[in-house]
Every structure is written in structure tokens, then in C-alpha cells.
């Protein structure tokens, strides 16, 4: 038995148990996915549960997406986005010091050429280099953070699209079994 079938059976068992215990107010398989199903031909609750289970399996097979796996994927993607943003915040660490060293070297060379005093040129170059290095690092951090956010949003949208496709397939199946379906 594959993992997806086992998950399906566990979900179906939990939903059936909850429906038996809670009666009509219990959550159905469809309602756990924010899909609302109304029996047009007065189908019994047990029949509706069986129909929802059959349509769930059919929708997973036809859409290629399992909504319960997608929920886990959504959480993992959000965590990955936060990690990427944290890594982006570290971009450019030490850029001010590196810029100061480069600026001091350039300033010393220029100072020696201009007035035979490398120390004044080195001091001015170090200050300018530090400022430039920090500015470039800040821009790099902002760009890296923006890229991480955009990538995270793209993943979240792809997951939402997969869930929407599953719900369409699930709804089509239930409508074919004579239920009114909205999501």
C-alpha cells in the first residue's frame, strides 16, 4: 500500500469516526478542505461520506495533488523563505571594513602622487571606501531579501494553484454524483 493510499484511509477513517460521533454537525472530508457540499437528492450522511472519499481519491489521481500534502508543503515553503531571508540579511557582512582597506590603498597611492604624503590620502580613501562598501552591502542585502520574498511568493502561488486544481477536480466528481458544491 503506498503512502498516499494510507493517508487517504486514515483521513477517511477519522472523518467517518467524527461524523458518526458528532452527527450532522461533524466535519466532513470536504469541509476539512473548505469545500462545501450539499446533497441535492437527499443523500444520507454515510453515502455522502463514501462519495466524498471516492471523489477525493479520484481528484488526487486526476489533479496530481493531495491537499493534505500541499498543506505540509506550504508550511515547509514558508520556513524555507524565512531561512532565505535570514541568509540574505547576512549578505555583505564586513563590506565596510573591506571597502575601507581598498579605499586606504587607493587613497595612499593618490596621496603619494599628488603631494608626497600617503597618510592623508589613505585616511580619506579609507573613509570613502568604508561608506561605499556599506552602501553596496545594504543594496545587496535589500536585493537578496527581495529575491527571497519573490521566490517564496512564487512557491506559495504554485501551491495555491495546485490546491485550486484539486478542488476543481473534487467538485466536478461530486457534482457528477448529484451534489451542489462550492469552495
Q: Give pTM, 2 decimals.
A: 0.63
Residue whose grid cell is 585616511: 123
Backbone angles phi, psi at 129, to 5 degrees: -65, -40
Over residues 101-150, the pLDDT tens digits come to 777 777 777 766 767 777 777 777 777 777 887 788 888 888 888 888 99
Q: Is the pLDDT of residue 53 over 50?
A: yes
Tell me the per-residue pLDDT of 66-107, one tens digit each, with 9 for 90 and over: 999 999 999 999 999 999 888 887 776 766 677 777 777 777
Q: Report the half-sphere exposure of 24 (CA within 13 A, side-chain side).
A: 5
Extract the C-alpha cell encoding 79: 520556513
d(CA 63, CA 177): 18
pLDDT given at position 20: 43
Q: Give Cα separations from 10 to 15, 53, 58 (angstroms).
A: 9, 11, 16
> What is the grid cell recorded at 143?
536585493
* 32 or 97, which is more confident: 32
Amino acid at each position: 500500500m503506498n503512502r498516499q493510499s494510507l493517508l487517504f484511509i486514515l483521513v477517511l477513517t477519522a472523518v467517518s469516526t467524527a461524523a458518526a460521533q458528532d452527527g450532522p454537525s461533524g466535519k466532513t472530508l470536504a469541509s476539512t478542505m473548505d469545500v462545501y457540499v450539499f446533497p441535492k437528492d437527499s443523500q444520507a450522511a454515510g453515502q455522502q461520506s463514501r462519495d466524498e472519499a471516492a471523489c477525493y481519491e479520484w481528484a488526487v489521481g486526476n489533479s496530481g495533488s493531495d491537499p493534505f500534502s500541499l498543506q505540509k508543503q506550504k508550511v515547509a515553503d514558508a520556513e524555507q523563505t524565512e531561512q532565505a531571508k535570514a541568509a540574505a540579511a547576512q549578505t555583505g557582512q564586513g563590506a565596510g571594513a573591506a571597502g575601507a582597506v581598498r579605499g586606504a590603498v587607493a587613497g595612499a597611492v593618490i596621496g603619494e602622487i599628488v603631494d608626497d604624503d600617503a597618510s592623508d590620502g589613505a585616511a580619506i580613501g579609507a573613509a570613502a571606501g568604508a561608506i561605499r562598501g556599506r552602501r553596496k552591502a545594504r543594496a545587496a542585502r535589500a536585493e537578496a531579501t527581495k529575491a527571497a520574498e519573490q521566490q517564496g511568493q512564487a512557491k506559495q502561488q504554485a501551491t495555491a494553484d495546485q490546491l485550486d486544481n484539486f478542488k476543481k477536480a473534487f467538485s466536478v466528481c461530486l457534482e457528477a454524483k448529484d451534489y451542489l458544491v462550492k469552495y
